[in-house]
Amino acid sequence: MTLTLKNVKKKYGSVKAVDGVSFEVKPGELMGLIGPNGAGKSTTIRMVMNIIAPDSGEILFDGRNISDKDFDRIGYLPEERGIYKKFKVSAVLKYFASLKSKSAKETSGKIDEWLEKLGLPEWRERKVEELSKGMSQKVQFIAAVLHDPEIIFLDEPFAGLDPVSSEVIREAVQNLSDQGKTIIFSTHIMEQAEKICDSIFLIDKGKEVVYGALDGIKEKFGKNSVQMEFDGDLGFLKNTGLVSDIISYPRWVEIKLAPGKTPDDLLSAVAGKVSVKRFEVTRPSLQKIFIDLVGGKRAEK
């Protein structure tokens, strides 16, 4: 199922929550709807889901307006979590599948398959209130995809998950994409988006900032970045004129070279001053692009 948005707008009073958003997502494509908190991501998804109505613009499924029957072909994991705590996991999943016109007979085997995939087979007949937060989120993910939807919306699916659980969900999302599902993945965590997305739509204050294939966007922003793991102190680089920006991570840095400077210049400057463990010339990370396009503007305000 192809999803198309054309100049979609939504206001709340004087606030333009979504201001002229246009994009298209095709079967098998995994698009990251990314941006800072309050950028308009969830509002966009809620309009597509017909939870709220746009003020103007078009939202099309396979080139036509959505019908009631189309909702059985859509899966949705909302940002706001919550499932019935007093019910057993299997009962909750059967109930959500029934809302998508699936019978208990049709879904019973699939429930077992999904619980096995996500490491929860022994929790099938346990009450939801006995689950940890991460387990509960996995159950909600299953509820969103159990009816075998053609198009899937995932709003901050990794929020609050530990690294192991995040990887399990990431693999499940990738498998669904490989099966030809159309997936829109909303997040403000750039690392997650970079790992799994084919394309991105970066939104800020309701407006498009950048949109397109992830590889193309990274290519557009050049190859003047270096990632380096090291032991020591790189503080001296700020006064050398070699770099225009440095982003520090727990064990490495991403360095944007100043105009006219080369990776060889940088390597010569750090040689003997720090112990270099990895030195890689690369395209800028999505995190770096995000900060360049959005972070600076917000910091100025």
Question: Average pLDDT per run of 10 along the chain, which is 301 residues long?
Answer: 94 94 95 91 90 94 85 86 84 92 88 93 92 89 94 88 88 94 89 90 94 89 84 88 88 88 92 91 84 65 45
For residue 103, the one-letter residue type is: S
pTM for the full predicted model: 0.80
- Taking only the tens place, the pLDDT of each residue in 213-235 is 998 988 887 767 899 999 988 98
pLDDT score for 301? 45
60/66 Cα distance (integer angstroms) = 6
Helical pair 163-178 and 133-145, crossing angle rounded to 10 deg = 10
